[in-house]
Amino acid sequence: MNKTERIAEEIIKIAYDKGGLVNGESLTEEQIKATNDNAINYVMRFYGDFSGDRENGYYYGLNEKGFELGRRGFFSGEEKERLRQRKGVNIAIITSVASAIIAIIAIVVDYFK
């Protein structure tokens, strides 16, 4: 997980834990400044929307994709799921190759009987 995802994940987690809406006052100054970064802002807008302004109240609310991300364990959960799937594919490939080798050995042994 890169720095952009890590910072965005922190804020998205806070919103998720608060039922999907977080007031800017609940964020640290560092987190608020981070939302001005284009990459972090882009990731956060994919999973929710900002409303208001800093003088009158600043909110971040999750959309359906944000709630789904939370249910899946955020970015770190997605990473674990990708690793699990990749291991499953590798195991399937190894099993297939091993089965083919065993079949070839069985054919060769039968041929030389």
Find the radius of gyration of the CA atoms of the chain: 24
- Number of residues written out for the chain: 113
Neighbours of 12 (CB within 10 A): 25
- Write down the pTM of the prediction: 0.62
CB distance 16 to 8 below 8 Å:
no
The C-alpha torsion from 72 through 73 and 75 to 81, rounded to 10°, is -60
Asked whether the predicted pLDDT for residue 64 surpasses 80, the reply is yes
List pLDDT tens digits, range 12-57: 999 999 999 998 888 888 888 888 888 988 988 999 998 887 666 7
